[in-house]
Chain A
């Protein structure tokens, strides 16, 4: 080892004359580069193929959607100027932004939009997040800038769903262009501020500024996304000045980073709820008093402070506050007395519970599960914690109920668009495994009725109220131990300004620039 270090010293000594230049000089935007370290190697650049927010985040630089959801949670136009939903909720008419062209010169018009709609709803194409578009029936180009969408049934969440990267608009001609095919779309051509440049597998993705962009011009000529799976290494890259921004540093270092004047820490709120799904069909768990007891038994804030290093917000509803349809529903304050009492009433003291958790999938997941198990043991339950890699974990929780079904498991759920409709899937009989990820096997006829009504309700206020009512019932039924929404930490060079986040666990650094 000494030899190795000595050799390292020797080799690095030769490099003193060649120090790594900082990624962004900030001397005029002309040829400046902004580099971001991310943890995941992209699997696909096809907007339709997206499954992870990190990859969608990269694609967003190149491909734009018709609408987006702004900070106030309202839908606003991007490539659509405006839209109108017919009285019966079956027709949506989009007026498109004029004078927009794709990076390959193809005009962005009604035909292009129709093409894209038909593509993402084509059963021949694998669109993992395509479930949101099942109500789609047909798209028609009324004139050059008007598109009419027909739905088979009213679908209030449909327009929100169009804000997801999955519904990004690609140039129809680019599908047959070099490197691309209909099924394997690898070099996206969109209308965004940046053009797709280069992808080096396992290493980096580069995008370059598109000069004829219709909107505000970004500052940096080039943006490089570097793929660095290890969180500690990402942090080192930033501290060494070799990248300008990173996502997801080691959470245990957040405090130290906050104290460091050279970097800024943004603990962005995300829509990802973390919870312990309880098997509502289990003989012991069937009793709502037991499920409520579990909620009272855990000091969630203490775990957030000490295990998650503050990188989370305690839940006060069965969904994140950023979702349409959220309303503050209640609290289960830490009350070990009450927990014990409820367990005794239900005759559940001493019941044995397996708590299954993934490890490394969510912020401090396995560690949090251990802490929760500790609280549950204090309440008088016999808890064992087990963990596995994510595919095995998923295979177990996504199976129909058997004796092998764990009584409890930790899971995270991040709606791809900010609508309660997406979150409420978790509480419907239709999504009980294996049909979906409603892994608590929770069913309540009242909730089913409210949600079925919300499915087709076109008046936003009524719809919001329906979700609020359903939330209240779910909260009291406690099919989960409601935990927290995990924060999405972004750390960047203090000399940079304009870095933000979206509520769907994405960073927003499109218009980042040097502070002075």
Chain B
């Protein structure tokens, strides 16, 4: 376990360097984009003097180096800056919206994991049967279906035609169902395909045949001997998917009017609100990195053979 601890510390240190790199990249990328934030924020009707004043107020008339310096020193002291669009601190803007995105991603991951692993195991056990083919084709559809289209379709069916669920917003508990299912569609499909492949490999192993020969009940064979051993690659997919879901929430949040950071990111890019975009991207980067560390630790838990 000592090796594992050292590994984690090393990973975290590397992560800090990565984050630093991300901060430079996103800072430069935003500045390369055409579009004067002051002009956008001041509105079409503003006069040139007002735009110039706003530019000075936002510190956009300083050199790139000076701007980056004030950005990065701010970040190091926990200050992500001020939103040009709303004048609110970026940290609180993100803080208000982040929980909604996290909840959505977590629920979607749970849905995707349960549905995907179940479908994958069933497909593997019944390989080459009708069930397997149906699951595989539906999974194919799930991977290739645009989120926008699926979301609107679900709204049409469950909110407008059947009237069972709220069409948009996050005002009541049931509001999460449609966006979470929409968001989960892609990862469900991916996880089921991964599970099927991984299970097929494991099910052909000697120890599974031994377990079967010993007369262990089929469920025990499939879950304890099969799934447990097949789980490492599945776990990787699930964790990567969780990260992707955080990002994929951008579209889902727009379709469903869900008040998360995905939409905040889109609004902020549209307004060239540099501080907020930088803040959100840093949060995303940090989340991805943290996720990788967690998965590293989980590997050890799931598979005691793994040592770092």
Contact = CB atoms under 8 A, between A and B. Distances in A.
A and B interact physically:
yes
Interface of A: 1-8, 11-13, 15-16, 18-20, 37, 41, 43-44, 51-52, 123, 126-131, 134, 183-184, 186, 200-204, 226-230, 232-234, 236-237, 239-242, 388-392, 394-396, 398, 413, 416, 422, 434-437
Given A15-B174, A396-B34, A228 B87 contact: no
How extensive is the interface on chain B, given as a class?
Answer: 35 or more
Nearest to B134: A2
B93 interface: yes
Given A126-B42, A203-B259, A390 B118 contact: no
B257 interface: yes
Contacts of A202: 97, 100, 257-260, 263-264
B128 interface: no
A76 B74 CA distance: 50
B180 to A, nearest CB: 9
Nearest to A233: B168
A416 to B, nearest CB: 6
B46 A128 contact: yes
B53 A19 contact: no
B54 interface: yes
Contacts of B154: 5, 8
Interface string B165-201: 1111111001001100110110011001000000000
Given A1-B145, A226-B169, A233 B87 contact: no
Contacts of B141: 1
B142 interface: yes
Contacts of A201: 93, 96-97, 259, 264
A15 to B, nearest CB: 5
29 contacts: A1-B145, A2-B134, A2-B135, A4-B182, A7-B111, A11-B174, A11-B177, A12-B177, A15-B164, A44-B86, A126-B42, A126-B50, A126-B54, A128-B41, A200-B259, A201-B259, A202-B100, A202-B260, A203-B171, A226-B169, A233-B155, A236-B152, A237-B168, A240-B163, A388-B34, A391-B36, A395-B34, A398-B36, A435-B47
Contacts of B105: none
Interface stretch (B221-229, B235-243, B266-274, B288-296): B266-274
Interface string B2-40: 000000000000000000000000000000011111011
Nearest to B257: A228
Q: Which among A11, A226, A227, A436 has the greatest number of chain B C-beta atoms within 10 A? A: A11
Contacts of A8: 154, 158, 177-178, 181
B156 interface: yes
B256 A3 contact: no
A511 B150 CA distance: 38
Nearest to A51: B43
A230 B164 contact: no
Given A123-B53, A131-B45, A236 B156 contact: yes
- Which of B86, B139, B164: most chain A Cβ within 10 A? B164
A127 B254 contact: no
B50 A128 contact: yes
Contacts of A183: 87
Interface string B90-102: 0001001100100
A434 B254 CA distance: 34
A131 B47 contact: yes
Contacts of B177: 8, 11-12, 15
Nearest to B159: A240
Contacts of A3: 115-116, 118-119, 138, 188, 192
A12 B164 contact: yes
B130 interface: no
A4 B188 contact: yes
Contacts of B256: 230, 233
Interface of B: 33-37, 39-48, 50, 53-54, 57, 85-88, 93, 96-97, 100, 111-112, 115-116, 118-119, 134-135, 138-139, 141-142, 145, 150, 152, 154-156, 158-160, 162-171, 174, 177-178, 181-182, 184-185, 188-189, 192, 254-260, 263-264, 267, 270-272
Nearest to A13: B164
Contact of B87 (A44, A227, A388, A391): A44
A16 B164 contact: yes
B196 to A, nearest CB: 13
Contact of A413 (B44, B138, B189, B257): B44
Given A129-B43, A184-B87, A201-B97, A15 B165 contact: yes
Contacts of B45: 51, 128-129, 131, 416, 422
A7 B87 CA distance: 42
Contact of B159 (A37, A184, A236, A436): A236
A242 B167 contact: yes
Given A202-B97, A204-B169, A391-B270, 5 more contacts: A1-B142, A43-B85, A130-B47, A200-B259, A232-B255
Contact of A240 (B34, B36, B100, B167): B167
Contacts of A228: 168-169, 257
Nearest to B262: A202
A208 B177 CA distance: 30
A19 B167 CA distance: 12
B87 A242 contact: no
A395 B96 contact: no
B307 to A, nearest CB: 36
A19 B36 CA distance: 47
A391 B40 contact: yes
A41 B260 CA distance: 12
Contacts of B97: 201-202
A15 B163 CA distance: 10
Nearest to B184: A4
Nearest to A360: B270
A234 B181 CA distance: 20
A388 B181 CA distance: 32
Contacts of A51: 41-46
B156 to A, nearest CB: 7
Contacts of B267: 41
Given A1-B141, A3-B119, A126 B270 contact: no
A7 B115 contact: yes
A413 B45 CA distance: 9
B46 A236 contact: no
A232 B152 contact: yes
B46 A395 contact: no
A230 B254 contact: yes
A374 B251 CA distance: 32
A119 B96 CA distance: 30
Given A4-B142, A51-B42, A392-B34, A239 B257 contact: no
B297 to A, nearest CB: 29
B53 A126 contact: yes
Contacts of A395: 34-36, 39
